[in-house]
A and B are shown apart, each in its own frame.
Chain A
Amino acid sequence: MSLIEGLRLALESLWVNKMRSSLTILGVVIGIAAVITVVAVGQGGQAVLMAELQKIGTNVFAIYVNWQEGEPLGEHDFTFQDIAVIKELVPEITYLAPTYYIPSVVRGPKDKKPAQVIGTEADYAQVTNVKVVRGRFLSQGAGTTRAVAVLDQTLAGEIFGRLDPVGKRVTINNRPAQVIGLTKEESGFLGIQTSKRIYVPLSFAQDISGQRVIQQMEGMAANQENIGAAMAKAIKVLERRHNTKDRYKAISLEEQMKIAGKITGIITLIIGAVAGISLLVGGIGVMNIMLVSVTERTREIGIRLALGARRKDILKQFLIEAVVLCLAGGLLGVVIGAGGSVLVARLAKWPPLISFGTVLIAFAFSVAIGIFFGLYPAGRAAKMNPIEALRQE
């Protein structure tokens, strides 16, 4: 019996039981669709992560104190001089800004809002690609304790209403400051709206919090090639100035993103595995129905054997039926999965990524499931004794 004839026989049998066939493949459909969606969304997320990295720049880095718990703050903290010296001694570093992040409540004439206060100086605008839309950004020379603030445009709108905020007063954690500029609202990393931002001179931020601390330095290397050298040299300068070792760490944004990428990859894998389990359940469903089908069609098997079907012809027929079922389920699953990932991607605002490889693997998996779960029922069919099978009502 040729494969085409086998396929035709299988399709005939499946078509006869349309309802049952479609219910049987449902498990496989859901399984494949789930796996495809998870993988596509995961891969899309990763692609966005990488695209975002390209946008922000691959030459941005941060230096921080590797502070041990319980250790008093003190001699190893960054100083303003550190920054000046690093900029002086490390030509690979184009911009370097101290930062101090404080959660705060900012109050304007109209409303108050929680916001992230970032104590820093002029270079920060270059490092993080902040765009000033009105007024100006902070000046260089972080030592100033002048009570000025640069507000995110959206935040300004919320607390000032229609008033022009520039030149007006806000209070940050009840300390007054004068608004000197507005920045363009950022869409935020991965499109997620991060907390509203206010930029203030670093010393003013220290005044607000009451602690003379520089949390970290954020800088930008001249280009991607020498970011490693830039970070290494900066650390060396710091270690020499503070006469210590292994106290400072530098990490590039790219490294951070890679870690994030790895984590999303693992999450994708885990969810994918869970979805894979549903595929397994679908396969068991196929086996179950195939067993029922074999029992029901005992007489048919007897007739076929009497007409000259060999055992392998019977085996082939039922195996092809199982594979066709699973493959149909796979096909439908890929279509639904593709639709699902487009939908999820739309909601999450990132591009769905359905690679040819994923689809191919899904199909290969469907066939494998069909063969694996079809083999036992088909084997039972093929083992039947023609006389006994013919006697079956």
Chain B
Amino acid sequence: MITVKQLTKVYQSGKISFPALKEVSVAIEKGEFVAVMGPSGSGKSTFLNILGCLDRPTSGSYFLENSEVSLLNEDELARVRNQKIGFVFQTFNLLPRLNILRNIELPMIYAGTPAKERRQRTQEVLNQVGLLEWAGHRPPEISGGERQRVAIARALVNQPNVILADEPTGNLDSHASTEVMTIFKKLHRQGTTIVLVTHEQEIAAYARRILFFRDGQLIKEEITPVSPEVNNQ
């Protein structure tokens, strides 16, 4: 599903160039739940941004479902972000003035989905994250955990190939974190591909495979034992 080869990203600031990613090669299969770990400045967020087509690599190749993403133009990239990728951010990134329904509808609006279908799919994903009754409220009126669940619903609504989550529990207390991770776990069970950046061991433990980054390089990979939480389900 995702194959990156020798992915390199160099940030240029005047004469100083800073390599954020150095020749990272990795393949992620369909249906995998992958956690990306590493200290800050290790390049894990840059990696995720490139996977999410928010940023372009300086060199190297990135295949998403057999298409070479680095060759796409701006509009095609927007389409990839819209159709194939679902983003979940640490800071939720909901539009505070729009109600939850409208927030979830946004990706579909940019996809040109007809209004009737939008309504129906919004209901579905809201139901999936258990927030159907909050549909008319605005993000500031709900808790952080609920906001992140709305963000997950929004990421799911265009039925993407992969969910990319950047520290999705970074702003949440442990209870809300568990709630959110439970949803990810459920999605993984249903076959959704998930790539999740975190620096917390217990969050990473939800994934089946962990990639460790340091100084822009992929230094090690681990397959996690089936976690007790998963066993309990």
Contact = CB atoms under 8 A, between A and B. Distances in A.
Contacts of B52: 306
Interface stretch (A136-144, A261-269, A307-315, A328-336): A307-315
B107 A308 contact: yes
Contacts of A12: 97-98, 102
Contacts of A309: 78, 82, 110
A236 B182 CA distance: 109
B82 A1 contact: no
Contacts of B184: none
A305 B89 CA distance: 14
| Secondary structure of the B contact surface, majority rule | helix
B110 A308 contact: yes
B97 A310 contact: no
Interface in B138-167: 154, 158
Given A305-B78, A306-B52, A390 B109 contact: no
B97 A308 contact: no
B55 A310 contact: no
Contacts of B109: 1, 5, 9
A388 to B, nearest CB: 10
B80 to A, nearest CB: 8
A303 interface: yes
A306 B93 contact: yes
Given A386-B54, A387-B55, A390-B89, A308 B112 contact: no
Contacts, number: 65
B93 A390 contact: yes
A68 interface: no
A306 B75 contact: no
A300 B82 CA distance: 16
Contact of B75 (A1, A303, A310, A386): A310
Nearest to A303: B93
Contacts of A310: 74-75, 78-79, 110
Interface in A288-317: 299-300, 302-313
Indicate the size class of the contact surface on chain A. Answer: 20 to 34
B49 A307 contact: no
A308 B81 contact: yes
A81 interface: no
A311 B75 contact: yes
Contacts of B110: 1, 304, 307-310, 313
Contacts of B111: 308
A193 interface: no
Contacts of B219: none
A345 to B, nearest CB: 44
A307 B83 contact: no
Nearest to A17: B97
A16 interface: yes
B72 interface: no
Nearest to B118: A5
Greatest chain A CB density within 10 A among B49, B54, B158 is at B54
A296 to B, nearest CB: 12
Greatest chain B CB density within 10 A among A12, A305, A307, A312 is at A307
B223 interface: no
A313 B112 CA distance: 11
B95 A308 contact: no
A211 interface: no
A187 interface: no
Interface string B41-85: 000000001001011000000000000000000110011011100
Greatest chain A CB density within 10 A among B75, B102, B110, B112 is at B110
Nearest to A308: B82
16 contacts: A1-B109, A5-B109, A9-B109, A13-B97, A300-B95, A302-B93, A303-B94, A306-B52, A306-B54, A307-B107, A307-B154, A308-B79, A308-B82, A309-B78, A313-B78, A386-B55
Given A311-B74, A390-B93, 4 more contacts: A308-B82, A309-B78, A311-B78, A313-B110
